[in-house]
Amino acid sequence: MISELSDRLAAVRHRVDAAASDCGRDPAAITLISVGKTFPAEVVNEAVTAGATDLGENRVQEAVAKKPEVAEARWHLIGPLQRNKARAALEVFDIVHTVDRFEIADRLQYLLTEHWPERRLGVLIEINVAKEPQKAGALPEDASELLEHALGCDRLAVLGLMAIPPWAEDPEASRPWFQKLRELRDRLQYEMGHPLPELSMGMSHDFEIAIAEGATMVRVGTAIFGPRG
């Protein structure tokens, strides 16, 4: 029911604001991304009606199907992007968090140049902070080269870094990985002389830790929409 979803969204916003205030940060500097993967368009639309301004989806095709039925919001791709889905992604998403290799940066650059010549797409570089073989993301040691390449793509506005740390029951287990991403961002900013203001990290179980470690975007699904079936 919409009242329940609205209550959960308000509770998460309160936790985001409190986490920011606790570490001396401005709550307005944290973007709460409501992740509606697997939930139907009408439920995602309820979140927008309840005040969600930023929506996250993991799969391009799922977002393509949902977006026409959802009120105005900013859409974030937070799942892996395949080269053959890049054009569809550009038709739906405002920000792509998962640029993780040259091929994806080049494909987005080409499509934007050909079909959206006046547009610059906000992107983040996805980093596989723990070097997990089953996960997407550039390895930390390759981040500098990938960032330099993406900065050379004039249709891309590189905003920062994104990561998904290893899953652990204890939210505190995520802290060292969030620290590593922040430290990598700080080093790359210094080396490249290019600001990287955004850090996309933290999900339902650990977003407060992420905010304490510098997250500017948190991706929250279950705590807002409820358990997935």
What pLDDT, on the 0 to 100 scale, is given for residue 1? Answer: 53
* 141-184 pLDDT, tens digit each: 999 999 999 999 999 999 999 999 999 999 999 999 999 999 99
Using the structure block, give the residue that is written with the tokens 């974030």.
Answer: 76
* 50-84 pLDDT, tens digit each: 999 999 999 999 999 999 999 999 999 999 999 99
Using the structure block, give the residue that is written with the tokens 């989806």.
Answer: 57
Average pLDDT over the chain, rounded to an integer: 96
Rounded Cα gap, residues 178 and 174, in angstroms: 6
Backbone angles phi, psi at 48, to 5 degrees: -65, -45
The matching CATH number, chosen from 3.20.20.10, 3.60.90.10, 1.20.120.160, 3.40.50.300, for 2-225 is: 3.20.20.10
Rounded Cα gap, residues 19 and 181, in angstroms: 19
Rounded Cα gap, residues 26 and 78, in angstroms: 24
- DSSP assignment string, 154-220: TTEEEEEEE--PPP-SSGGGGHHHHHHHHHHHHHHHHHHT----EEE---TTTHHHHHHTT-SEEEE
